[in-house]
Amino acid sequence: MKISGSFLTIQDDENKITKLNEVTDYMHFDVMDGHFTARPTLPFSEIIQKTDKVTNPKDIHLMVIDIKKYVDEVVKTSPEYITFHIEATENPEEIIDYIKSKNVKVGMALNPETEVKTICPYLNKIDLVLVMSVHPGAGGQKFIDITDKIKELKNYRLQNNLKYIIEVDGGINDETIKKVKDVDLAVVGSYITNHEDFAKQVAKLRRSLHE
């Protein structure tokens, strides 16, 4: 399992963002528009100024309604993945094709209450499924048990010989990570960033995976 660092709660602190980049495998960029979510994040142009020293591959999580507009903006940073929410669009195929036309891997995200079957028709076209284990909007929330959905996605992948990776996002700590051992990528924010020693927190997470 790889770890994608979420810097939502330390957005203003360039030094901490750089430190998080050093101890994680990916960097997770949360982008909220204040429509799909209650509150917006900083404009992406400002987020990007503070992430100058980020060297990890970028995993961009769009929690926005006007998806294409944001794709046009975030694509300039050469991300590995751009992920959009199934709940935010009536035409997922169009968005998938749009992201692919930019030569970026495509992810689709599911809110905690959204069922896996809603994205089944698209699973052969995408590279990543992000399963939300909190409601989109803020870091530091409590983990919602979505383990059945992860099992379902793993089985579906195997049965249909597909390649998408499975990512979980929200409320991951050294206890909850044990419930999602099967995912390929885990987003972790406040469990790391609420402490002084980021490397120690990541070591604790990795140790939990082997318990």
- Residues with active-site annotation: 30, 169
Pairing type for strands 2-6 and 128-132 reads unpaired
Closer to Zn ion by CB, 30 or 33: give it.
30
Task: Look at residues 2, 23, 24, 20 and name the one whose alpha carbon lies nearest to residue 11.
Answer: 20
* Closest separation in Å from C-beta 169 to ligand DX5: 5
Closer to Zn ion by CB, 123 or 138: give it.
138
Residue 58 contacts residue 79 (beta carbons within 8 Å): yes
Which of 5, 79, 107, 136 contacts ligand DX5 by CB under 6 A?
136
Amino acid residing at 85: H
> Could you tell me which stretch among 40-48, 99-107, 129-137, 202-210 binds ligand DX5 (CB under 6 A)?
129-137
* Closest separation in Å from C-beta 203 to ligand DX5: 17
Query: Residue 190, interface with ligand DX5 (CB under 6 A)?
Result: yes
Q: Binding mask 151-180 vs Zn ion (x if CB under 5 A, - otherwise)?
A: ------------------x-----------
Task: Look at residues 2, 8, 98, 12 and name the one whose alpha carbon lies nearest to residue 57.
Answer: 2
Query: Residue 59, interface with Zn ion (CB under 5 A)?
Result: no
Longest Cα–Cα distance in the chain: 44
* Closest separation in Å from C-beta 6 to ligand DX5: 4
Residue 26 contacts residue 80 (beta carbons within 8 Å): yes
Query: Cα dist. 208→123, 157, 183 in Å?
Result: 30, 26, 14
> Could you tell me which stretch among 43-51, 77-85, 154-162, 168-176 binds ligand DX5 (CB under 6 A)?
168-176
Closer to Zn ion by CB, 127 or 169: give it.
169
**If residue 128 lies in a helix (H) or strand (E), which one and from where to where?**
strand 128-132
Q: Which of residues 20-39 bind ligand DX5 (CB under 6 A)?
A: 28, 30
Counting beta carbons within 10 angstroms of the beta carbon of residue 90, is it exposed (0 to 12), middle (13 to 18) or buried (19 or more)?
exposed
Closer to Zn ion by CB, 23 or 31: give it.
31
Return left, alpha or beta for 161; rule: phi > 0 is left, psi -120 to 50 is alpha, else beta: left
Enumerate binding residues for Zn ion (CB under 5 A): 30, 61, 169
